[in-house]
Structure 1
Amino acid sequence: MKLFRKYFTFPTDTSAENLGINVLNLGHNIHPSNKPYPDGQHPDDYYFEWEKGRSLKEYQIIYIPKGEGYFESSGLPPQKIDAGTIILLYPDVWHRFRPEENTGWEEYWVGFSGAYAKYLLEQECFNAQKPIIKVGFNTEFLETFSRFIKIVEVREESYLKLSSFLLIQLLGIVYTSVLLSNQKKSRKEDIIDQIRNEIHQKWNSNIDFEQLAQSNNLGYVWFRKTFKEVLGTSPNQYHLLLKLRKAELLIQDSHLTLAEVAYQCGFESEFYFSRIFKKKMNYNPSEIRKRNSKPE
């Protein structure tokens, strides 16, 4: 897969500052396995050596939707990072992180400052000593980041203010996730979380959900009803949307043909893939590259 990487530096925008939040940088990177991290293309202001670590003058949200790694910060022991983890960085706090060498990882990040950001991240539910937030595979979070990047790439009028609104939306998702994680999970949620992890491990395979329920000592009717109750959609639809989201990223980040993308994502044919993609995502998969190929 061709690596996709964008770093943006935002100019100061008075209208955005009036919202109490100022976007400083934004990016998405797929770091492959068995490669040094950070690599040589990391911006100088954010580059760090593992032995020394770093501290920033801004807040950052880092989301790891795929892969594994490690994180350390002042006063905290090393912590394992799994797929579906948010790392919340505070200004002037020493830290360091890197992906597991044999897995690599995918990362999204946004750096920001401002009075509203400071107010929100000083709420009682947030804590610089608890920077790791587990959200799992959060499609709303990924879609917001994707819209964020597209708006900045196109740089249409008012993109700075739109960027601030999207950052507020991201912070709202993080805030909600922290509040929910502070509540004790029910037994149902624990079971569904475990099965959801299995679905993510087999995302591009045909999954027999009756067999999956049976292997977890569950009745299929109870499993299907509870899955929808906890996640708001059926197991089949969740799996389908997961594959479509992966396909969208492959189209955006690689030079694979649509037929190759369909095959890698477990669809029976390019025709079926294109038809179901259009139905569920409300646009044709071929439009993704057309949008990305437009000059800024």
Structure 2
Amino acid sequence: MSQPSDWPLPPDSSRFVVPRKMVSLLSQHPLAKDLYPLGLGYYKQALNHTMSRNKHDDYLMIYCLDGEGKLTINNQIHTVKAGDIICLPKGVAHAYKASEATPWTIYWVHFSGDKSEDFIDYLAINSNNYVFPLGIHSRLTSDFESLLECRQYSYNINAFVHTASLLRQILTHIAQLQPLAKQQAAHNFDLERVHSLMQARVHEQLELEALAETVSLSKFHFIKKYKELTGTTPINHFIHLKVERACHLLDVTTKSINEISFAVGYEDAYYFSRIFKKIMGISPSQYRRMRMGTFPYTS
């Protein structure tokens, strides 16, 4: 693998190089040979962290959580900020360093495998986008932390097969997040703000105009942009939130169906039951009976 940096490692950071024997086993294992880690780490506020490689013989991903850094490729300098991903294919000469004023905090992983290039293609990595914004995602951070747990099992092949699977999960999750990040950046559309309003008003009716106002769009453009980002309509998502809330109330309270219907913004319990059954496949009363064990989970 490409040599990791020799940045002095403070107590709150970590660096782990997978033992060569384990790499050899992974490269031949039917469940791991397609994609497996070679080295990985977490550098917190990595002041003076720098690396230059004229020869790069594996694949590298860096996820910036905080601060800034610079990446130089083909005499072009790219600024890397919190929420950005660097993904470098094999054979691409590069240099990078942390900002002196606000040094970055990063997760990084070197990887290889028969399908590594396929994953790079899947992420649409090319000479124009070695760095792309993704945003800070708690689940992605958690996945990287889980990936780092492999350093506790230096010679346990099962642990490393699991780590290889986690790496695949991280890359496919990034691919899932990419379109949303691009759309939000292009349209300056604060989807989290819209969803927060929906959650806050799940117990009542909510007009599209009120949702559109949160992102300063007309109702027509709001619906269009929302569907581009999510693949569904805002009303459909809001209805699903109401049904999720109704399921919770059916699980944890003894409220009647009428009371639950009113609690999620429907005055007509019959209409609420129709909506619930359309989404869940069973009626509210059947759902409650299923949770109590008196209605079959599958018919």
* TM-score (normalised: structure 2): 0.54
Q: Which residue of 2 aligns with 1:255?
A: none
- Aligned CA distance change for structure 1 residues 37 and 157 (closer, same or farther; 3 Å): closer
Identity of aligned residues (%): 18
Deviation of 1:70 (Å): 1.2
Deviation of 1:107 (Å): 0.9
The answer to whether the 8 Å contact 1:71/1:97 transfers is yes
Q: State yes or no: 1:90 paired with 2:102.
A: no
Q: Deviations over 1:268-291 (max 9, x none)?
A: xxxxxxxxxxxxxxxxxxxxxxxx
- Aligned CA distance change for structure 1 residues 154 and 101 (closer, same or farther; 3 Å): same
Residue 141 of structure 1: SS of its match in structure 2? helix
Q: Which residue of 2 aligns with 1:37?
A: 49
Residue 31 of structure 1: SS of its match in structure 2? coil
Q: Which residue of 2 aligns with 1:242?
A: none
Structure 2 unmatched runs, 5+: 1-9, 194-209, 216-221, 231-299
Deviation of 1:220 (Å): 9.8
Larger Rg, first or second structure (1 or 2): 2
Number of matched pairs: 193
- Aligned CA distance change for structure 1 residues 70 and 193 (closer, same or farther; 3 Å): farther
Deviation of 1:55 (Å): 3.3
Q: State yes or no: 1:58 paired with 2:58.
A: yes
Q: Following the alignment from structure 1 to structure 2, what is the Cα–Cα distance between the partners of residues 117 and 191?
A: 33
Q: Which residue of 2 aligns with 1:276?
A: none
The code of the aligned residue for 1:150 comes to E
The runs of at least 4 consecutive aligned structure 1 residues that moved more than 6 Å come to: none
Residue 158 of structure 1: SS of its match in structure 2? helix
Q: State yes or no: 1:71 paired with 2:74.
A: no
Deviation of 1:3 (Å): 3.0
The 5-angstrom pairing of residues 1-296 of structure 1 reads: 2-10=11-19, 11=22, 12-13=24-25, 14-15=28-29, 18-32=32-46, 35-38=47-50, 48=51, 53-74=53-74, 77-123=76-122, 125-155=124-154, 158-181=158-181, 183=183, 187=187, 190-192=188-190, 223=214
Deviation of 1:221 (Å): 10
Q: Following the alignment from structure 1 to structure 2, what is the Cα–Cα distance between the partners of residues 21 and 184?
A: 30
* TM-score (normalised: structure 1): 0.55
Q: Deviations over 1:63-84 (max 9, x none)?
A: 011111211112x621111101
The answer to whether the 8 Å contact 1:64/1:85 transfers is yes
Structure 1 unmatched runs, 5+: 39-47, 196-218, 232-296
Deviation of 1:125 (Å): 2.5
- Aligned CA distance change for structure 1 residues 110 and 94 (closer, same or farther; 3 Å): same
Q: Deviations over 1:130-183 (max 9, x none)?
A: 101211111121110001112432455601100110010111022223344555
Q: Following the alignment from structure 2 to structure 1, what is the Cα–Cα distance between the partners of residues 120 and 166?
A: 16
Residue 175 of structure 1: SS of its match in structure 2? helix
- Structure with the greater relative contact order (CA < 8 A, sep ≥ 6): 1 or 2? 1
Residue 176 of structure 1: SS of its match in structure 2? helix
The code of the aligned residue for 1:87 comes to I
Deviation of 1:127 (Å): 1.4
